[in-house]
Structures are given as structure tokens and as C-alpha cells.
């Protein structure tokens, strides 16, 4: 058992949990494994996360939010045309997902299992992303660049749904196809054209 | 064993195979079950389909093609604006998939298994559908209703990809949500606007 003098924070527990999930897989990983990884008692872990389910939910949320900050920074750019911001944002979302799936396929598969058991966290994450898209489209409408038949929020949801092939983990196996970037480009062109005033 | 004097056709074997798949599920259904259902020897079945895999492929193809004829009839309408034809076509595809998933969920799940093992048939089916979409968009461009940045075929693929949420069986569980028709409408509006000249 490795001993540590660092204070036991929620963040350290989440880092260790991801490592344990990577090593044992989502079916076998236990809170005892996480405690052993940190050199603490499992009681110490439970003081931060009251149940195993709460720990799994928190680690899923942390993984999903890893790419959200960069996307939010893109969404808040005011120095570029809205069409450029929207295309950058969609590309960044796709590239971030591809990178996650490609760099560590086992961990990605592990998170696919966790996503299925944490639908509330997934809904919140999608809500955050659609919120960012809504902000981009709202500014575009204000500037007279975009026009939407309904509200910016409805258009944002439509853009998110229409690009699912390029961010929904169910399609991860297709992201290594050589044609996928062209496919993405064609969908992005069509959607941007659809938003143009 | 039920005896029959009808001649044993490929179509009768496929009807019986679907019935056997519905009853036993894709893991347990055998060629012997199909022969028993028809009151013939399994050798007679093998004279039409040389392997169990060939039989499963043919039954999958038949299921996929069941909605293709109606879609082809819509795609060939010349009396309506291209935008109307495209919207009708997308709605019909979505409704046909929803109906299949809703009317007989067990059979739908069975076919989800068969689709995974018959990727060539699935590719051909998608090729047929994207071909119909290409024809609709091609006519729209010729009439001056639509404009596409690349070819009609590229735009057709983009429309197909962008509407995956409303026809890809991986999303079947979401088709019973009350909001799904509005979600579909918003995506269709955006895509049609994107094709407009």
C-alpha cells in the first residue's frame, strides 16, 4: 500500500478512480481498489463520496467537463464572425471527442459504460453544450448574420442533433474512417448555410 | 411437422425465417427451426440459401427494403417543389423507422443484431437511400430551387448524416420522447434552409 502525506482531496480521489477504472474496467473496479491506490482507508474515500455510485458519477462528470472550458472560450469570442465561431466550436467538439476516443480507447469504452449509468450527468453536459451553441447563435442573430425560424435555443438544439455523428460516442468506431473529416465538413457547410440570413 | 403443397420459394423461406427469429431470437434460431416451420427438410432450405449466414443476410435485406419502395415513389415526384419532396421523404423515413421500432420492438431488436452482422447489406441500403436523396437534390438544383457548395451527392450524404438521430436504430429508444417530432422539425427546417438557393 502506497502511503502519501498529501491531503486527500476529492480531485485526488477522482484521479485515482480513473486510474483504477482504466486498470480493472468498470465492472470490477471497487472503492477498496481506489483506497488502496491512494494508500488510505476506504472510509476516507467515503467521507468525500458517500456511495460508490456518487464516486462514479463524479468521475464521469469530470471526464465530460474536461473539454467544456475550451469550448466555452470559443463560444465567447466576439472578434470573429458568428459563422466562424460556430464552425470552430463544432470542429473543436469533434476533435476533442476524436482525441479522447483515439488516445485511450480502453478508457473511452470504460466511460461509455459510465455514461449509460449516469444519464443525469450526461443530460447536464448536453445542456451546457447546447447552451453554448445557443449563445453563439443568439449573437449571430443580434448582429444580423444569422436568421432562425424559431428561437436561437431551438436552432442550437437542431445543430447539436444534426452533428451527432461527429460527437456522440455511439459513432466512435466511425471516427477513424478516412472520409470522416469530409463528411463533417459537408454537414457543417449545410448547417451554416441554413443559419445564414 | 406441418406439411404444405405450396412450392418452396425463397420468399416463403424468408417469411418463415422472420417468424422463427421472432420466436427464438437471433442467438437461438437455426435452419432446422426454419425447415420445421415450413414442413420441409433442412436440405430443401439449403438449396435456396447455401449457408445460415446467407439466409440471415437475405432476411435482413428484405426487412431493410420493406420501406424503400415508398421512399422511392416519393423521391420521384415531379409535381411538387423539391423542398416539399425532401421534407416528405425525410418524414416518411423517420415514420417508417419509428413504426418498425414501435409496432414490434422484439423483432426490431432482433434485426438490430442482424444489422451488426450484415454490414455489407446495411452499406448497400444506405447507398440506396443516399442515392434517392441525391436524385431529389439534383432535381432541386436543376430547377434552381436548391444550391449546393459541392455536388448533390455530397449534400445528400450530409442530409443523411445530419438526420441520423431520426433514422439510425441506435437512437430507437429516443423516438418515443414527446419532443422528438419537434426536434425532427427543427433539424429539417435548418437543412432545407441550408439547401435553398
Q: What is the pLDDT of residues B30-82, one digit of tens each?
A: 999 999 999 999 999 999 999 999 999 999 999 998 889 899 999 999 999 99
Residue of B nearest to A196 (CA): B194
For residue A148, the distance in angstroms to the closest alpha carbon of chain B comes to 8
How confident is the model at residue A11, as a pLDDT? Answer: 95
Query: Is the distance from CB of A57 to CB of A112 less than 8 angstroms?
Result: no
How confident is the model at residue A177, as a pLDDT? Answer: 92
Instruction: Give the span between the Cα atoms of B71 and A147, in whole angstroms.
Output: 31
For residue A49, the distance in angstroms to the closest alpha carbon of chain B comes to 31
Do residue B150 and residue A183 have CB atoms under 8 angstroms apart? no
Q: What is the pLDDT of residues A160-188, one digit of tens each?
A: 999 999 999 999 999 999 999 999 999 99
Instruction: Mutation target for A interface from B115, B119, B133, B187: give the one with most A CBs within 10 A.
Output: B187
Lowest mean pLDDT, pick from A65-69, A130-134, B158-162: A65-69
How confident is the model at residue A104, as a pLDDT? Answer: 84
Q: Which residues of A touch B170 (CB under 8 A)?
A: 170
What value does the mean pLDDT take over residues A147-152?
96
**Is the predicted pLDDT of residue B183 greater than 60, yes or no?**
yes
According to DSSP, the residues that pair with A146 across neighbouring strands are: A196
**Is the predicted pLDDT of residue B103 greater than 90, yes or no?**
no
Model confidence at A138, pLDDT cuts 50, 70, 90, reads: very high
Model confidence at B5, pLDDT cuts 50, 70, 90, reads: low
Of B154, B157, B193, the CB nearest to A194: B193
Closest CA to B130 of B102, B156, B151, B111: B156
**Is the predicted pLDDT of residue A122 greater than 90, yes or no?**
yes
Domains (ranges, CATH) in chain A?
A: 10-59 (1.10.10.60), 66-195 (1.10.357.10)
Model confidence at B104, pLDDT cuts 50, 70, 90, reads: confident
How confident is the model at residue B106, as a pLDDT? Answer: 85
Say how many CA atoms lie within 13 Å of B30 toward its Cβ: 7
What value does the mean pLDDT take over residues B90-96?
96
Number of other residues whose CB lies within 10 A of the CB of residue A12: 16
What value does the mean pLDDT take over residues A142-164?
97
Do residue A157 and residue B192 have CB atoms under 8 angstroms apart? no
With H, G, I as helix, E, B as strand and everything else as coil, classify residue A163: coil
Distances (CA, A) of A106 to A23, A30, A46: 9, 18, 26
| Complex prediction ipTM | 0.86
**Is the predicted pLDDT of residue B4 greater than 80, yes or no?**
no
Instruction: Give the span between the Cα atoms of B157 and A188, in whole angstroms.
Output: 12
Residue B6 DSSP one-character state: S
Closest CA to A125 of A89, A84, A168, A154: A168
For residue A131, the distance in angstroms to the closest alpha carbon of chain B comes to 16
Closest CA to B132 of B101, B107, B167: B167
Of A159, A161, A190, the CB nearest to B158: A190
Distances (CA, A) of A187 to A87, A130, A165, B16, B114: 11, 17, 10, 41, 29
Highest mean pLDDT among A80-84, A175-179, B68-72, B110-114 belongs to: A80-84
Model confidence at B2, pLDDT cuts 50, 70, 90, reads: low
Model confidence at B197, pLDDT cuts 50, 70, 90, reads: confident
**Is the predicted pLDDT of residue A85 greater than 90, yes or no?**
yes
What value does the mean pLDDT take over residues A93-120?
90
Amino acid at each position: 500500500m502506497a502511503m502519501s502525506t498529501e491531503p486527500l482531496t476529492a480531485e485526488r480521489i477522482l484521479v485515482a478512480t480513473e486510474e483504477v477504472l482504466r486498470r480493472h474496467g468498470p465492472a470490477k473496479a471497487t472503492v477498496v481498489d481506489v483506497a488502496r491506490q491512494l494508500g488510505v482507508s476506504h472510509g476516507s474515500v467515503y467521507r468525500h463520496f458517500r456511495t460508490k455510485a456518487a464516486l462514479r458519477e463524479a468521475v464521469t462528470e469530470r471526464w465530460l467537463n474536461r473539454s467544456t472550458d475550451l469550448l466555452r472560450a470559443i463560444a465567447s469570442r466576439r472578434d470573429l464572425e458568428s459563422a466562424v465561431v460556430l464552425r470552430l466550436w463544432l470542429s473543436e467538439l469533434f476533435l476533442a471527442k476524436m482525441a479522447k476516443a483515439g488516445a485511450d480507447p480502453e478508457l473511452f469504452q470504460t466511460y461509455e459504460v459510465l455514461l449509460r449509468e449516469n444519464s443525469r450527468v450526461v443530460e447536464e453536459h448536453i445542456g451546457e453544450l447546447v447552451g453554448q451553441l445557443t449563445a453563439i447563435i443568439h449573437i449571430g442573430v443580434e448582429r444580423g448574420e444569422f436568421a432562425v425560424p424559431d428561437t436561437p435555443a431551438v436552432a442550437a438544439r437542431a445543430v447539436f442533433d444534426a452533428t451527432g455523428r461527429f460527437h456522440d460516442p455511439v459513432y466512435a468506431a466511425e471516427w477513424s474512417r478516412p472520409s470522416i473529416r469530409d463528411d463533417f465538413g459537408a454537414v457543417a457547410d449545410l448547417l451554416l448555410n441554413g443559419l445564414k440570413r
